[in-house]
C-alpha cells in the first residue's frame, strides 16, 4: 500500500477556513506506514521498503492489535523540536545491534495521524473524522511511550503562525469528510510548509575548489517526463533529468563526507540532464546514474530559469527512489 499525499496549498491564501477542515502540525520526520499482522510489525517507507529493524524502540506497536495499519511519521526530537537529520539516517540501518545503539541515544517517536485498517476492517472509505476518532481510541488503549497522536486544531491560520514562531515545519489541512485515497496526491489534504523543501535526484558532483576528490557540490534535477507524463530514459534505460541547479551549501564537514561515501558507490554514467548547462558549471564534474534522492531547502525555483534559489542540502532520502518523484513534476 502507498500512502496518501498532500497537495501544496496556496501560500497567498493560507490554510482553508470553515468547520469542514481540520489542521495538524507538519512534522519533520520519516513518513512510515505501520503494518501489524499476526504479531509482526512492518514499518514501510513510501517506496514500500520495510525498515522496522532500524527502529527497535517502536517494536511495541506490534502488540496494539492482531491486525492494524497506521499512517504516521517517525520523529526524533532535539531540544523539544523535530530534527529530520537525527532520524533520516536511520533508514539505511540493517543491523539490529547498530539500530539499538542509535535508539538508545536518539530515540524516535511514532506520531500516528491516520488509522487505515483494524481487525480486518478496511477503514479507508470512511471520513477522516471517523478514522481520527477510532485512531485516538486505539492509541489511548495501547498506552505506549513511543507512540502519540498529534493534536488537531480548528484555526489553520493561527496554527500556521504559531508553527512559524516555534520553528516547526508547517501545517497540513485535512478535509474532515474525505476518505483516504491510497497513493493519490489529493487536494483533500493541503500542506503549508514554512520553507520550500524539495526532493531532487543527484545527476553528478564536482570537487571542492583546490581539491580533486573532496565533494564541493552536487548537480541535481527532477525526472524528465514526456507529454503523457511517463519518465524519459536514455537509450540504455537510464532516467533523464531536468536540471534544477547545483547544491553546495550544507555539505561541509561530516555531512559532505557521508554523502561523498554514498555517491562513490553510484556508477558513473553519461551526462543525465536533458539540457546542457554552462561549461563553467560542468567543468570538473563527474556524472552519475540517477539513483540518489536528496532533500534540498531553498527559496523556491526561479520562474523562467528553472533553478533553485539559494539551495541548501538537508539530507539523503533513502526511503525514496527517483521514480517516486515523477508524480511531483
Q: Do the Cβ atoms of 73 and 81 come closer than 8 Å?
A: no
Q: How far is CA 35 from CA 21, 39, 71, 183, 288, in A?
A: 27, 10, 9, 16, 35
* Secondary element (H or E) of residue 73: strand 67-78
State how far the Cα of 243 lies from the Cα of 271, in Å rounded to an integer.
11
Q: Is 26 a catalytic residue?
A: yes
C-alpha cell at 56: 527497535
State how far the Cα of 191 lies from the Cα of 82, in Å rounded to an integer.
17
Kindly report, residue by residue over 231-279, the tens digit of the pLDDT.
999 999 999 999 999 999 889 888 889 999 999 999 999 999 999 998 8
State how far the Cα of 124 lies from the Cα of 307, in Å rounded to an integer.
38
Q: Which residues are bridge partners to 316 per DSSP?
A: 294
pLDDT tens for the 329 residues of the chain, in order: 899 999 888 877 899 999 999 999 999 889 999 999 999 999 999 889 999 999 999 999 999 999 999 999 999 988 888 887 788 778 878 999 999 999 999 999 999 999 999 999 999 999 999 999 999 999 999 999 999 999 999 999 999 999 988 888 899 999 999 999 999 989 999 999 887 778 999 999 999 877 777 899 999 999 999 888 899 999 999 999 999 999 998 898 888 899 999 999 999 999 999 999 988 889 999 999 999 999 998 867 776 778 887 788 988 998 889 998 885 54
Superfamily name and number for 196-328: Nucleic acid-binding proteins (2.40.50.140)
How buried is 312 (Cβ within 10 angstroms: 0-12 exposed, 13-18 middle, 19+ buried)? middle
Residue-level pLDDT at 265: 95
Q: Do the Cβ atoms of 173 and 16 come closer than 8 Å?
A: yes
- Torsion region of 183: left, alpha or beta (phi above 0 gives left; psi -120 to 50 gives alpha): left
Kindly report, residue by residue over 164-199, the tens digit of the pLDDT.
888 888 999 999 999 999 999 899 999 998 877 789
Residue 138: phi and psi, rounded to 5, are -65, -45
In the chain, where does the domain assigned CATH 3.30.470.30 lie? 5-193
Per the residue annotation, which of 9, 21, 26, 259 is the catalytic one?
26
State how far the Cα of 150 lies from the Cα of 36, in Å rounded to an integer.
21
Q: Which residues are bridge partners to 174 per DSSP?
A: 22, 189
In the chain, where does the domain assigned CATH 2.40.50.140 lie? 196-328
C-alpha cell at 163: 508553527
Topology annotation, domain 5-193: D-amino Acid Aminotransferase; Chain A, domain 1 (3.30.470)
Residue 321: phi and psi, rounded to 5, are -110, 160
How buried is 234 (Cβ within 10 angstroms: 0-12 exposed, 13-18 middle, 19+ buried)? middle
Q: Which residues of 282-294 are buried (b: 16+ CB within 10 A; e: fewer)?
A: beebebbbbbbbb
Amino acid at each position: 500500500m502507498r500512502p496518501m499525499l498532500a497537495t501544496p496549498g496556496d501560500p497567498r491564501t493560507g490554510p482553508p477556513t470553515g468547520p469542514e477542515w481540520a489542521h495538524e502540525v507538519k512534522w519533520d520526520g520519516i513518513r512510515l506506514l505501520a503494518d501489524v499482522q499476526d504479531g509482526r510489525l512492518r514499518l514501510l517507507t513510501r517506496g514500500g521498503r520495510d525498515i522496522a529493524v532500524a527502529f527497535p524502540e517502536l517494536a511495541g506497536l506490534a502488540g496494539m492489535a492482531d491486525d492494524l495499519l497506521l499512517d504516521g511519521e517517525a520523529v526524533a526530537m532535539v531540544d523539544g523540536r523535530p530534527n529530520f537529520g537525527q532520524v533520516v539516517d536511520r533508514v539505511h540501518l540493517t543491523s539490529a545491534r547498530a539500530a539499538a545503539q542509535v535508539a538508545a541515544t536518539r530515540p524516535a517517536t511514532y506520531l500516528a495521524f491516520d488509522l487505515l485498517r483494524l481487525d480486518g476492517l478496511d477503514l479507508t472509505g470512511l471520513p477522516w473524522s471517523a478514522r481520527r476518532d477510532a485512531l485516538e481510541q486505539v492509541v489511548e488503549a495501547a498506552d505506549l511511550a513511543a507512540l502519540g497522536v498529534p493534536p488537531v486544531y480548528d484555526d489553520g491560520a493561527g496554527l500556521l503562525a504559531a508553527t512559524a514562531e516555534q520553528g516547526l515545519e508547517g501545517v497540513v489541512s485535512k478535509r474532515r469528510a474525505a476518505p483516504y485515497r491510497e497513493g493519490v496526491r489529493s487536494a483533500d489534504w493541503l500542506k503549508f510548509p514554512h520553507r520550500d523543501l524539495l526532493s531532487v535526484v543527484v545527476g553528478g558532483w564536482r570537487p571542492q575548489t583546490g581539491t580533486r576528490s573532496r565533494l564541493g557540490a552536487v548537480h541535481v534535477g527532477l525526472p524528465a517526463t514526456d507529454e503523457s507524463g511517463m519518465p524519459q530514459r536514455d537509450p540504455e534505460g537510464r532516467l533523464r533529468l531536468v536540471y534544477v541547479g547545483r547544491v553546495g551549501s550544507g555539505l561541509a564537514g561530516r555531512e559532505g563526507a557521508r554523502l561523498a561515501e554514498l555517491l562513490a558507490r553510484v556508477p558513473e554514467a553519461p551526462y543525465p540532464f536533458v539540457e546542457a548547462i554552462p561549461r563553467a558549471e560542468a567543468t570538473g564534474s563527474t556524472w552519475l546514474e540517477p539513483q540518489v534522492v536528496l532533500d534540498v531547502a531553498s527559496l523556491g525555483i526561479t520562474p523562467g530559469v528553472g533553478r533553485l534559489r539559494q539551495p541548501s542540502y538537508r539530507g539523503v532520502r533513502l526511503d525514496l527512489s527517483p521514480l517516486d518523484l515523477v508524480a511531483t513534476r
